[in-house]
Chains A and B, each alone.
Chain A
Amino acid sequence: MLEIKNLHARIAEDGTEIIRGLNLTVKAGEVAAIMGPNGSGKSTLSYILSGREDYEVTEGEILYNGENILELDPAERAAKGIFLAFQYPVEIPGVATMQFLKVAMNEQRKARGEAELTTPDFMRRVKEAAAELKINPDMLKRPLNVGFSGGEKKRAEILQMALLEPKLCVLDETDSGLDIDALKIVADGVNALKSPDRATIVITHYQRLLDYIVPDTVHVLYKGQIIRTGDKSLALELEANGYADIIGEAA
């Protein structure tokens, strides 16, 4: 489903290279975990996947379902099913969460040539999804992410993911800021979306999340490269020993 080949990317503004020859393959139905020390380029990779223009790809390619997506803008990629749950969700003052959801869902439908949702249909979907994630419906009337607690923001991200039904889900540290109960609820939400035609990339620092969302593959990202790939036991190994050994081997 996703094939990243020898990807090099730098910050457009000052030319600093962040991603330095990264290779990664994620198959449909797979859950891939990406781990790595702070500042290694995990969030940057997620931004590049979703087309943020602050980064320039200088070499390599990203194939999504066999198609090179580097020329597509972020909204086009979103309409094709790429979703990013942000590490730091952004506040949109004055725009009710509900309204935002409706605009996003309908814009994606429009881009795919589908009919817009009727209001009752939309309401039903939102209510169901919010209930699954134990989100208080009153929160949906509030402006998106404005004054939401850390955990509420992360839950709102997963709510959007559930409603937009993407094909490639990228979760950037969705576990940070969640209490133990919320972690379970969010993990259940993610697992509920699992399907043979959907892939998930989970970026995290902690094994704890991977107890709930069990990965098929685990990749270690360091200085803009994947330096090690393994199965779920790799995460346990990192939890026990830290990154030092793996980094040492790679160097």
Chain B
Amino acid sequence: MAAVQETIDQVRQIDVDQYKYGFETEIEVEKAPKGLSEEIIRFISAKKQEPDWMLEWRLDAYRRWLTMEEPGWARVDYPRIDFNDIYYYAAPKTTSGPKSLDEVDPELLKVYEKLGIPLKEQEILAGVDKPRVAVDAVFDSVSVVTTFKKELAKAGVIFMSISEAVREHPELVKKYLGSVVPTTDNYYATLNSAVFTDGSFVYVPKGVRCPMELSTYFRINEKNTGQFERTLIIADEGAYVSYLEGCTAPQRDENQLHAAVVELVALDDAEIKYSTVQNWYPGDKQGKGGIYNFVTKRGDCRGDRSKISWTQVETGSAITWKYPSCILRGDDSRGEFYSIAVSNGHQQIDSGTKMIHLGKNTSSRIISKGIAAGVSQNTYRGQVSAHRKATNARNFTQCDSLLIGDRCGAHTVPYIEAKNSSAQFEHEATTSKISEDQLFYCLQRGIPEEAAIALIVNGFVKEVIQELPMEFAVEAQKLIGISLEGSVG
């Protein structure tokens, strides 16, 4: 028991203070006054030079939101949020919208460099034969810069901030915004619809395979600022796109709210691969501070033979409330959910997915790997359902939990519902601990405890790591190691 005991002791002294991205940047900002009202929403809309229909859409959502109650069913515990104590709009002063890299505040570029996103290099690399990534960077409330825009435009791909898209492609935005996650969907999604500030917009036209990975980095910098980004991705018939989002925030004593909405639409034969590496600040070792991550992500396999795949690596946030889901509407459509959720310290994760089978011969696959350390709570909550008309719906679910120490918890809450008797749903769940034997074996081979834990954990999550775009797989593995760093030595 001794080595495990030591591990446990060290988990107790977790040092999430090692949070690598916890710096703050001094940048002049422009903020709306604290609190939420129709006036604030009008202010945001005006700042973004939005057309009237967009403003009305927001106001409708806001009025709806006023009638709603914060949900309480998730296995997470936190003091009530005062929604009037939050800034709903903060923008770096020097940028009123996306510009070319040369015009971006060098301070901002430095931030992204620190985060390991060499924006400048990305463009330089453009000429080089190497996997390339187009990046949209969202700083607090606004999108700062979108790289590779011209090249993408050549392929017909639209990749820009959602605010820009509202102005430049209103017909597309009008048609699809809120069509997957309606403004009435849930408390946080409705709030987001009222106040969303920025996010990414992607449209891949018929038959186009997006020539590069698209990526967005979100960063919350300002104090007491909520981040409400909105992302909308549409893959038209036969199109393919792979999209990655990364998230970080500075260390703060107060909790910060992040309530995003992501909508994906895949038409006939289209495929969308959406990957997330989420590393919002998790709070300190006493559980103080950290991001509340209340996110609604949903993909609509609207067309026949369409496919949507979610891959997430969740290591940050004080509280995570997140269920990237797929509506399998088209016949022969397919949904996938691959998840790694690491909780340490006082983190609370309630995450999972929904696979809603509506069309015929639809299939879905769920692989969830939860790792709990410290005094964290890690819950997988998943729903798989087959509609009456969904003949031959198939699902395979595998939920594995790994516990480090004995003060954390892992929970699996599956909801399974088949209204069509031809449905075939399989569910497997395991819970294990890093065994004393495994740890000693690694140590005996000269692998120190911390590296041994990282090695064993990375083995445990391998099936999911394989689903990440290659450039990010290594990063994700390192991140998992860092997130568990406090859990030993």
Contacts and interface: CB of A to CB of B under 8 A. Distances in A.
24 contacts: A13-B1, A50-B444, A51-B443, A51-B444, A53-B3, A54-B436, A74-B440, A74-B443, A75-B444, A75-B449, A78-B444, A78-B445, A90-B438, A90-B440, A91-B438, A92-B442, A94-B459, A95-B455, A100-B445, A100-B455, A103-B447, A104-B446, A108-B446, A143-B459
A94 B460 contact: yes
Interface in B384-407: none
B120 interface: no
B446 A79 contact: yes
A95 B456 contact: yes
A94 B435 CA distance: 15
B443 A75 contact: yes
A89 B459 contact: no
Nearest to B1: A13
Contacts of B459: 92-95, 143
Nearest to B460: A94
A104 B445 contact: yes
A123 interface: no
Contact of A92 (B436, B441, B448): B441
B40 interface: no
**Count class of interface residues, chain A:** 20 to 34
B118 to A, nearest CB: 25
A20 B441 CA distance: 25
Contacts, number: 82
Interface of B: 1-3, 6, 435-438, 440-449, 451, 455-456, 458-463
Given A92-B438, A94-B462, A164 B446 contact: yes
B460 A53 contact: no
A51 B448 CA distance: 13
A92 B447 contact: no
A164 B447 CA distance: 12
Contact of A107 (B1, B438, B451, B458): B451
A91 B456 CA distance: 10
A93 to B, nearest CB: 6
Contacts of B438: 90-92
Interface string A82-103: 0110100111111100011001
Nearest to B454: A103
A209 B192 CA distance: 72
A174 interface: no
Interface centre among B441, B445, B446, B463, by most chain A C-beta atoms within 10 angstroms, is B446
A200 interface: no
